[in-house]
Amino acid sequence: MSTPTDTKNARPDNLLFHSHIEICRILQMLAHERTHIEAEVGEHLAFKAFMLALDLPHGRFTTTFSPNKEANSALLAFPDAVEFTASDSQGLLYSFDASSPEETQIDGQPAIHFNLPKALLLHNRREHLRLSTADDLSLRCVADAEGFMPFESHITDVSHDGLGALIYDVGVHLEPGAVLKGSRIITPNGDAVTADLELRHITSAQLPDGTTANHAGFRFIQAPSEISQLIALFIQDMDKK
């Protein structure tokens, strides 16, 4: 499986990730390296800490406390999201927003949980670029369009290695391993991309309006020729903007 730094030399200067799969992969790498991260809290305080772990089932990541007690107190009371910056062992720079800090412990040591970011920026340039969260990014998909049970769904993620995520109605009952044949993925310009999707795992998810839906991870059985077009919707080359 590839990692975010495997293709360092092939990457443009700035990439914006909306892909949850890629964001988690990057944060997992930063936690594995115990990367130093920092954020400005308000106008005068700097929160400096280390990445510790990801808690994927609860959608959180964890850091150490800062040595600065005043910065810790300010961060825990801060009403808005803070923007973290980090640099990995190969010198790549990352920025991402984090919200809802909460005190916890890991192995008996104090730590802080944050909600996982919805966007993450990889940037090699010195100028500071702002994130665009694109909370509602999804693609309409007529799943199993060439199978026995076509149904409406939305694709909320596509990653570099051909993995993705699908949201659909709780009334549709499927099992991991099911193949959705000839699924039609509608891109923003109205074109349709046809692909077979194999479901890998299925869980329940709560939508922003409070309703419950099924959330399935999938892989493309055979990546369509337009796979790069789909990936580009969730992993954007900022230097082409």
Closest by CA position to 41, among listed 94, 81, 93, 85 = 81
**Could you give the CA distance from residue 166 to residue 182 in angstroms, rounded to a whole number?**
15
Question: Where does a domain end: 123, 151, 171?
Answer: 123
d(CA 241, CA 233): 13
Residues 6+ apart with CB under 8 A from 229: 187, 193
Q: 232 falls in which pLDDT band (50, 70, 90)?
A: very high
For residue 2, the model assigns a pLDDT of 43
The predicted-structure confidence for 24-72, as pLDDT tens digits, reads as follows 999 999 999 999 999 999 778 899 999 999 998 889 999 999 999 999 9
CA-CA distance, 128 to 85, in Å (whole number)? 10
Q: Does residue 137 have a pLDDT over 90?
A: no
CB atoms within 10 A of CB 150: 16
One-character DSSP codes across 91-102 = --EEEEEEEEEE
> Do residues 14 and 114 share a domain?
yes
- Residue 16 — φ and ψ, nearest 5°? -110, 120
Q: Say if residue 18 is in the same domain as residue 112.
A: yes
- Domain of 58 in residue numbering reads as 8-123
Integer CA distances (angstroms), 126 to 92, 120, 170, 180, in order: 11, 16, 46, 44
Q: What pTM was computed for the model?
A: 0.86
Average pLDDT over residues 126-130: 55
Over residues 101-122, the mean pLDDT reads 93
pLDDT of residue 8: 46
pLDDT at 131 over 60: no
Average pLDDT of every residue of the chain: 88
- For residue 129, being part of any structural domain is answered with no
Domain CATH code at residue 210: 2.40.10.220
Domain with residue 64: its CATH number is 2.30.110.10
